[in-house]
Every structure is written in C-alpha cells, then in structure tokens.
C-alpha cells in the first residue's frame, strides 16, 4: 500500500526532528501563501511533512487525534502565522520592486520539491503519467488565463471568505499557489493590506482603527481557511488511499506546472491614461492614486548579468528546499528508505 509508505518517514522521525521540520515547513508555507506563483503545499512537501500533515488534519477533524498530530499541526500553524504576520509587508514590497529576483528564487524553491514527489511516485504507472498530464495542463491554463486579478478588489466579506477557502485549498495542494488564486479572485492586495493593518494595530501603535480594519479582513478569511483545510485535507487523504498513483501523478503535474506562472523577467509598468483597470478607463489622477502593486505586468529581455543571477537564484532555491527535505533523513535508522518499514506508533 502506498499510504503507509507516504507516512513512514514522518512517523519514524523523533519528536524534536518533527518539530524542526514542521517549523521550517510552516515558515516556508507562510511565505508561499504571500506570493503568487508558489505553493504552500509544495513547501510542506519540501520539508518532508506533507503526508503526515494531511493525515493529521483528517484525523483531528474526525476526532481521532494523537499527540504527534497536535504537535505537527500546532508547529506548522504557529510558524506559518508568524511568517505571514511579520513578513507580509516586506514580501509584498520585494515582489513588487524586485520581482525577477524573487520569482527566480521561488522557481528554485518549487522545483526542489520534485525529487520528494518523485520518490513517492516510483515506480511510475500509466495512472501516474495521466494524472501528471492533467495536473500540468490545469496549472498552464491557470497561468495563461486572461484577467487574473479582475475580481472584486474591495474587502467584501463574501469574497474574503471565498478567498480563504481557495487559499486554504491551495495551501495543502502542492503546485497550486494560494497567492495566485487570490490574484484571480481580486483579493490579493486587500488581504495583504489587511494583515499589515492588523500587525500595525497589534504591534506598531496603529490604534484601534488599524486593528479594526485588519480584523474586518482577517476574520472572514480565517473562517474560510478553516473550512477549506478541513474539507480538502479529508478529500486528499481519501484520494491518496484509494487512488494513490493517480493522485500523486496529479500532484507531480501541479508542481511542474506551477513554474509556468513564475517566469521571472516581468515587471510592473505604470499605466497610461485610457488604459482599462477593472473595466474602467484610467485618468491621470486615477493613475496617480493607483498603487504600484496594481500596475500591469510586462515581460522584458534580461541582461546577461540578470540571466546569470537568475540561474544562480534558481539553484539557491533548489538547494534550499533540497536541504530542508534532507532534514527528514536525520534520525532515521538504516531502514529509512525501506517502504515496508513499519511506522512508529504514538
């Protein structure tokens, strides 16, 4: 059976190692959900805790938790929340101002999850290749779909709740970017701004107005996240148990296809009067009031130095997630690579 194989490595890890890997995965997951194009589920795969994470959520929602489930989920959630709270503003600025640098790094981080997924897939079957083709095609369609970000741009509660559900689903589906789905729903900037306002109200003396503005965004999004995680994690666990090869193939395709939407050499371009934004022609005064985050993106030809630096950043990201994945090998016995080895209990 593939399901015990998926969980064996996480089950064999000692509790301190599980906390370390879960903390690394949680931080990267939080960062991933701030950035369009990179998947939180991919980062959990890179940290080597993804199958155990899915199982833990499913068991908790079925009221069959164990201590290890609470440790894993609590560590991932705390690390992800802290990363989102403290890094939402800086990450947003870096993506807007140094997009090619950040996207190059994200490509490497994403590709670093491929060996981990492939190790779970082998030996590949027709179901794997069919699932991979479907997952890859789905991500390509999403990446090339016109009108990303043309949904409701204001902090409307229904849209925010739906964004939370979508973001949570992407959070635990490797290859599917939560940030990208938020762009498609038109809520990316509103949610990051709400998180920044909440941090200002709580930690930076922004006052009750900033706190209230943040809570108006965070509460409906948070409710959507809880529902999305509970539902999707149970669906994934059932799919992994009953259709393991096809499901893993889809995950592999999603992971490969995620890179399509991360072409690094694109930049924000200031719009000109008459350009359309949310269906309306922009005036000079409207352009002045428009945040650079909302400027349209255009591709550009990189200089030789930028191209070389981009390759280096891709390799750096690849090495980063590879190193995190290798954390899982620490503390394993000589049978760590044996799929038949029994998982530890408790």
The pLDDT tens digits of the residues spanning 210-227 come to 888 888 888 998 899 888
Residue 154, pLDDT score: 44
| Locus of tokens 């959630």 | 77
In angstroms, the CA 111 to CA 291 distance is 31
Average pLDDT on 300-321 reads 90
Residue 198, pLDDT score: 85
Cα distances from 218 to residues 79, 180, 223, in angstroms, run 17, 18, 9
Q: Is residue 329 predicted with pLDDT exceeding 70?
A: no
| Locus of tokens 């900033």 | 210
Question: What does the angle CA 203 – CA 168 – CA 186 come to, to the nearest 5 degrees?
Answer: 80
Average pLDDT on 67-88 reads 88
The predicted model scores a pTM of 0.64
Cα distances from 62 to residues 164, 233, 234, in angstroms, run 22, 11, 9
Residue 128, pLDDT score: 92
Counting Cα atoms < 13 Å in the Cβ hemisphere of 87 gives: 18
Residue 148, pLDDT score: 43
- Domain assignments of the chain as residue spans, ordered by start: 2-265+302-329, 270-300
């Amino acid at each position: 059976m593939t399901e015990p194989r998926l969980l064996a490595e996480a089950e064999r890890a000692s509790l301190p190692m599980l906390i370390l890997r879960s903390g690394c995965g949680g931080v990267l997951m939080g960062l991933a959900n701030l950035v369009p194009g990179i998947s939180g589920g991919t980062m959990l795969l890179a940290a080597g805790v993804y199958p155990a994470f899915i199982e833990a959520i499913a068991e908790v929602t079925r009221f069959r938790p164990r201590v290890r489930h609470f440790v894993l989920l609590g560590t991932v959630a705390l690390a992800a929340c802290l990363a989102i709270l403290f890094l939402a503003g800086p990450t947003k600025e870096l993506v807007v101002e140094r997009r090619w640098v950040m996207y190059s790094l994200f490509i490497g981080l994403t590709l670093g999850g491929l060996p981990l997924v492939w190790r779970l897939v082998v030996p590949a079957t027709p179901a794997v290749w069919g699932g991979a083709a479907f997952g890859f095609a789905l991500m390509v369609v999403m990446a090339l779909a016109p009108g990303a970000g043309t949904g409701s741009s204001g902090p409307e509660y229904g849209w925010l709740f739906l964004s939370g559900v979508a973001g949570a689903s992407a959070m635990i589906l490797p290859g599917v970017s939560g940030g990208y789905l938020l762009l498609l729903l038109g809520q990316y900037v509103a949610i990051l701004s709400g998180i920044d306002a909440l941090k200002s109200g709580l930690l930076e003396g922004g006052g009750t107005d900033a706190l209230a503005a943040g809570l108006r965004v965070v509460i409906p999004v948070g409710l959507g996240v809880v529902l999305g995680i509970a539902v999707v994690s149970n669906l994934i666990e059932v799919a992994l148990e009953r259709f393991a090869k096809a499901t893993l193939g889809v995950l592999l395709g999603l992971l490969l296809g995620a890179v399509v939407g991360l072409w690094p050499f694109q930049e924000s371009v200031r719009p000109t009067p008459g350009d359309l934004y949310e269906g309306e022609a922009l005036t000079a005064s409207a352009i002045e009031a428009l945040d650079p985050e909302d400027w349209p993106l255009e591709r550009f030809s990189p200089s030789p130095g930028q191209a070389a630096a981009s390759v280096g950043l891709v390799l750096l990201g690849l090495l980063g997630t590879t190193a995190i994945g290798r954390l899982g090998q620490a503390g394993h016995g000589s049978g760590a690579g044996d799929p038949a080895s029994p998982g530890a209990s408790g």
